[in-house]
Each structure stands twice: as structure tokens, then as C-alpha cells.
Amino acid sequence: MDNFGLYIVMTNPLLGYETFTEICVQEEVPMLQIRDKHLSDKELLNLCKRLKAITEGSKTRFIVDDRPDICLLTKADGLHLGQDDLPWKEVLPFLPNNTLLGVSTHNLKQAKELMESITAQKNLQKPDYFSFGPIYPTVAKEKPDPAIGVEDLKNVLNLSPIPVVAIGGLFPENLPNVLAVGAQNMAFIRHFTLSRETAELKAKIREMKSLLKEAQK
């Protein structure tokens, strides 16, 4: 999988899930993940069906967090698994060949273990990317992991055989520090989901895509 740049994680966006997704599609956000721990199974399934219908045929890949069952039932473009979710090696054989798989890592030890496991797979199936963070302190989770910082991110970027997504406490003001160590893919949550107006969200997406594109020159 090639580097993709902008990755947005949706958790209770102020604009609502459907409107938020429609704007992301209009602005051609490459990766859009839904992460909602509070909906019932039925509510989450129905919501993901609606969101997948919005992204269908677009340049925006719709990623389901945590739930292989919801991913398969909605024919989502990808699945993202956390450290406490089902093991990726056991889930991957059940995913269609064109379904992306991402895995969370929260410290250098977890990242190295994942990279070693990926290398050991050789020509077998493996994740398409993994996230690494939180880089900076974050309140996006109820029980966030300790902030890692950019030096460990730099080490992981230099070692990883697959794309790495920096995540956690990322905002335009600290983005230069992350870009300076070589990061090309970054996930954002609150910076986008706290947008109250569609024009505000569109402007933020365009600004971020421009910053990432400029950094890749």
C-alpha cells in the first residue's frame, strides 16, 4: 500500500456522521474511519451501511474500527484493529482480498513486535498500515495511552516495511514537528470533528491536505 497522507477518525462529529462523511467525500479525504464505542450493534451496523453508501465509488476509503463483523456486513473498504481487539493474524484470512487492514500500536515495544511479525510473514497476508501514537497528549480516548513523542516515531518510520500513521494530539501547530521526522500519513480526530459549520470543515481539510502535499515535495 502506498502512503496516503490524510486519515480522519470520526467520533461523534458535531456536524453528524452523514454530513461529515459527505464533506469528506466531496473533499476527497483518502481515509475515513468510524470509531464509536457507545452505539448498539444494530445502531452501528445501520449507521455504517449509510456511511458506506455515501463513500461508495468515491476516492474516500471507509474504515470500520474494531469490528470485523460490521466491516464484512457493510462491505467496508477497511478494518482497523486495536491492541485489545481480535488478533489481526486470525482476522485477516476472513477479509476479502481488497479490504484494507490497519493495526494500532501505542509504544515502541508494540510497534517493533508488529514489525517483526510482519517481516516473519514474508509473502503471506499482512496489515496494510499501522498507527503509532499518541504522539502528543490526547483526550480523544477515555483512557489514553501515554504520549510517545516524535523521536520514537522517527525510529519506527525508519524501520517499518509498511506505511505508518502518526496519531494522537495532532493539530496544525505541532504538525511541523511530526513532518520533520519523516511522517507522511497522519490521523486527526478533534481537529476535524469539532467543526461546527460545513465551511469550517471544508477549510480545515483543504488546509491540511495542502500542508501534507507541500511537505511531500
Q: How far apart are CA 104 and CA 139, in angstroms?
A: 17
Q: What is the pLDDT of residue 160?
A: 95
Question: pLDDT digits over 90-114, tens only?
Answer: 999 999 999 999 999 999 999 999 9
- What percent of the chain is predicted at pLDDT more than 90? 88
Q: pLDDT band at residue 10, thresholds of 50, 70 and 90? A: very high
| Band of pLDDT at residue 62, cut at 50, 70 and 90 | very high
Q: pLDDT for 151-204, tens place per residue?
A: 999 999 999 999 999 999 999 999 999 999 999 999 999 999 999 999 999 999
Inform me whether the pLDDT recorded for 45 exceeds 90: yes
Predicted confidence (pLDDT) at residue 43 exceeds the cutoff of 90 = yes
Q: Which residues of 176-199 are buried (b: 16+ CB within 10 A; e: fewer)?
A: eebbebebbbbbbbbbbbebeeee
Q: What is the pLDDT of residue 120?
A: 86
What CA–CA distance (Å, rounded) separates 102 from 116? 16
Query: What is the pLDDT at residue 213?
Result: 84
Predicted confidence at residue 123, as pLDDT, reads: 61
More confident residue, 213 or 202: 202
C-alpha cell at 52: 458506506
Look at residue 124 in the predicted model and tell me its pLDDT: 73
Residue with C-alpha cell 524501520?
Answer: 159
- Please give the domain boundaries of the chain with CATH numbers for all domains: 6-215 (3.20.20.70)
pLDDT at 174: 93
pLDDT of amino acid 66: 96
What's the predicted TM-score (pTM) here? Answer: 0.95
Distance CA 212, CA 75 (A): 29
Give the Cα separation of 186 and 142 in Å (integer). 21
Residue 122 has pLDDT above 80, yes or no: no
- Decide if pLDDT at 117 tops 80: yes
Alpha-carbon span 93 to 83, nearest angstrom: 18
Give the three cell numbers for residue 153.
516515531
- The pLDDT > 70 percentage for the chain reads 97
Question: What is the pLDDT confidence band of residue 121, given thresholds at 50, 70 and 90?
Answer: confident
- Reply yes or no on whether the pLDDT at 1 is more than 90: no
pLDDT band at 145 (very low <50, low <70, confident <90, very high): confident
